[in-house]
Structure 1
Amino acid sequence: MSALTVLMPVFNSERFLAQAIESILDQTFQDFEFLIIDDGSSDKSQEIIRSYADPRIRFLHNERNLGISPTLNKGITLARTELIARMDADDICHPTRLEKQYAYMQANPDCAMVSSLVRVVSETGEFLRQDQFDSRYFYYNLNFVCWIYHPTVMYRKGAVQKVGMYTAAYSEDFELFWQLARNHKIHNLPEALLDYRITNQSLHQVLKKQEYDQAQKEQLLRNFRYYAGEDYTLPDKYLECLQHDFTSLLQEQRVSSLYQCIKELRFLNQKILAKENINADPKAIAEAAYYKERFIVSALVRQLPRHKAVLFLLSLGKMRMLKQLISSKLLSHKP
């Protein structure tokens, strides 16, 4: 039996599919089955997959398009190994990705999922950015936003099945990762092991952006209620702000709303700190909470009229930032 399964769903991915497949077949770690499930493609995706004679490839075809979550759940069920590495049909794995993640999971049997950083690239493969996320802050930030890139994860089949596998039609990765983090250790390797491609077919950023945005708002409220109680709620403008979309709050231009949003963030931070969790590191949570508040306040202040920025900082007791504002030196911030 193989040591792990690489699970890759495919849907009309002919443009980048060969590059994705070859980046898996060329891994330094070779002991895997490569489970590829075509979800009813109408382009040449099936033809491309069938052109590879590598015996590690297991190719399955959905007779009709089921969607990402049912297809992934099918793959998890059919995987022959306990360790499953996710892959997407338009991304590129770095050669040592599987080797390094497999080694980590072997050395840490209590860890349910390991991810990595990525290089974000354009459709044509040009480098766009590399996020410098601090792995110590993943647990805290997973309550607000998904820092984890889906095709970088390697997880344990049993742990994923225990939390119900993929249960959401949209933002399915965010949902699964948060559920895993409630009761299982997760970890992020602090190096880029995959090129993550942004295309005009990206579901969460282009084709289904509205649906994904709404799903994430609902997930945020669910996350917050886990800490603050079932009756806890927040208006959409605050949910958006906590995900670093400041449009609605800035359109209002109301200092009282800005202050209330930060007050709610401080309340949630206290609740997160108080909740026992296998991933909880109080020092890391406190640091992450500090940086999040500083980032939000700094971003808002930069876009407010000067007199409102002064009132906002006064209401929060941010005297140091106020002095820097008055001297026209806005606080630099850490993402």
Structure 2
Amino acid sequence: MTVVETLDIMLPHYGDTGLLQAAVRSVLDQTDKDWRLTVVDDGREEGVPEWFVSLGDSRVRYLRNEQNLGITKNFRKCVGLVESTHFTMLGSDDLLLPEYVATIRAAVAAVPDAAIYQPGVQVIDENGTPSVTLADQVKKRLYSPRATERRVLSGEPLAANLLGGNWLYFPSICWRADLVKEIDFREDLSVIQDLALIIEIVRRGEKLVVEPATVFQYRRHSASLSSGEAVSGARFGEAVRFFNETGAMLDRHGWPKAARAARRHLSMRLHALTLVPGALLQRRTATVRKLLGYVLTSSP
């Protein structure tokens, strides 16, 4: 049987202290105690360092950046601090359910040659209440594989599937550290850097494991960076650039089906369309025009 090393849980933080503390407590409450938590604080909230000292747990390491790095550079710093073979990049407003570490370590032991492990996820709102959103229903019904048992996916079909609609939940994923350290997050991306990393890993021939057990709570709320940029329409400019670049790259790689899925970026267009009514209600005319432009952009 494969011996699974201690799971590194990296937590890049900026924002609400209460949500951060809840995320940390969810780590402390794991049934499998073989984990190591590293918090890299990109903020300046008072009392946070003292709260971590009060925990008195040698498995918890707290670091505060001298200067604000921003989301992607803080991600990259976290990757550089990973010491184990596998790690999770937990969002500071998300929660691990008690069996998360045990479930992930079992999946790694069962499929040790994979690079990405996606467990089952429950979406919650600002108050921690289970939530059903249009975006998550689209992910579930149109793109994510129906898995009642562990599944292993790879190759061009997986790349095409994810580029059609990314059904993965980035903060819940367990990653193989050596690959992520080698590739790392792109500094020119701010809200789609997770998909860029995943597609490069898949392009290199690596495997993705889908673990159906629901062991993670992903929080959707209007205060998140990705939500704010989506409402303004800003995230879609970055996304279009990424998809077009990726389509060209995958054509060169010999994956025409995945390349077409990238250039069509259908789920991104649908997402932009769902934001139009809200922008209309807010009378944000420029945003409406920008969103419709992304919806109607021609695809080669």
- Give TM-score, length-normalised by structure 1: 0.66
Number of equivalenced pairs: 253
2:82 matches 1:74: no
SS in 1 for 2:32: coil
Partner of 2:291: none
Shift of 1:148: 1.1
Shift of 1:36: 0.7
> What is the distance in 1 between the residues matched to 2:186 and 2:251?
25
Match of 1:177 among 198, 205, 210: 198
Partner of 1:227: 250
Can you give the 5+ residue segments of structure 2 that lack an aligned partner in the other structure?
147-152, 277-287, 289-294
Shift of 1:244: 2.3
Partner of 2:238: 215
> What is the distance in 2 between the residues matched to 1:54 and 1:246?
44
Can you give the 5+ residue segments of structure 1 that lack an aligned partner in the other structure?
252-256, 265-335
Partner of 2:270: 244
2:38 matches 1:35: yes
Shift of 1:221: 1.3
> What is the distance in 1 between the residues matched to 2:59 and 2:10?
12
Partner of 1:120: 123
Paired amino acid for 1:176: L
> What is the distance in 1 between the residues matched to 2:22 and 2:235?
27
Once the two structures are superposed, residues 78-101 of structure 1 have per-residue CA deviations (whole angstroms, 9 ceiling, x without a partner) of 222111122111111111111111
On the 8 A contact 2:164/2:264 being kept in 1, the answer is no
On the 8 A contact 1:112/1:155 being kept in 2, the answer is yes
On the 8 A contact 2:12/2:91 being kept in 1, the answer is yes
On the 8 A contact 2:164/2:267 being kept in 1, the answer is no
Partner of 2:14: 11
> What is the distance in 2 between the residues matched to 1:60 and 1:23?
19
Higher-RCO chain (CA-CA 8 Å, sequence separation at least 6): 2
Partner of 2:210: 188
Shift of 1:2: 6.0
- Give TM-score, length-normalised by structure 2: 0.73
2:214 matches 1:203: no
On the 8 A contact 1:39/1:62 being kept in 2, the answer is yes
Shift of 1:70: 1.4
On the 8 A contact 2:185/2:193 being kept in 1, the answer is no
Rg larger in structure:
1
Once the two structures are superposed, residues 95-123 of structure 1 have per-residue CA deviations (whole angstroms, 9 ceiling, x without a partner) of 11111111111221210110123111110
> What is the distance in 1 between the residues matched to 2:267 and 2:59?
46
On the 8 A contact 1:14/1:44 being kept in 2, the answer is no
Q: 1:48 to 1:175 in 2, by over 3 A?
A: farther
Match of 1:54 among 57, 68, 81: 57
Once the two structures are superposed, residues 270-307 of structure 1 have per-residue CA deviations (whole angstroms, 9 ceiling, x without a partner) of xxxxxxxxxxxxxxxxxxxxxxxxxxxxxxxxxxxxxx
> What is the distance in 2 between the residues matched to 1:43 and 1:217?
39
> What is the distance in 1 between the residues matched to 2:176 and 2:28?
21
Q: 1:239 to 1:80 in 2, by over 3 A?
A: closer
Moved more, 211-220 or 164-173: 164-173
Shift of 1:247: 4.0
Moved more, 124-133 or 11-20: 124-133
On the 8 A contact 2:123/2:217 being kept in 1, the answer is yes
Partner of 2:284: none
Alignment of 1:84-163 (within 5 A): 84-129=87-132, 131=137, 132=140, 133-134=144-145, 139-163=159-183
Shift of 1:153: 0.7
Indicate the percent of aligned positions where both proteins have the same amino acid. Answer: 22
On the 8 A contact 2:116/2:208 being kept in 1, the answer is yes
SS in 1 for 2:227: helix
Partner of 1:321: none
Partner of 1:293: none
On the 8 A contact 1:38/1:46 being kept in 2, the answer is no
SS in 2 for 1:111: coil
On the 8 A contact 1:10/1:45 being kept in 2, the answer is no
Q: 1:14 to 1:247 in 2, by over 3 A?
A: closer
Moved more, 76-85 or 202-211: 202-211
On the 8 A contact 1:2/1:33 being kept in 2, the answer is no
SS in 1 for 2:23: helix
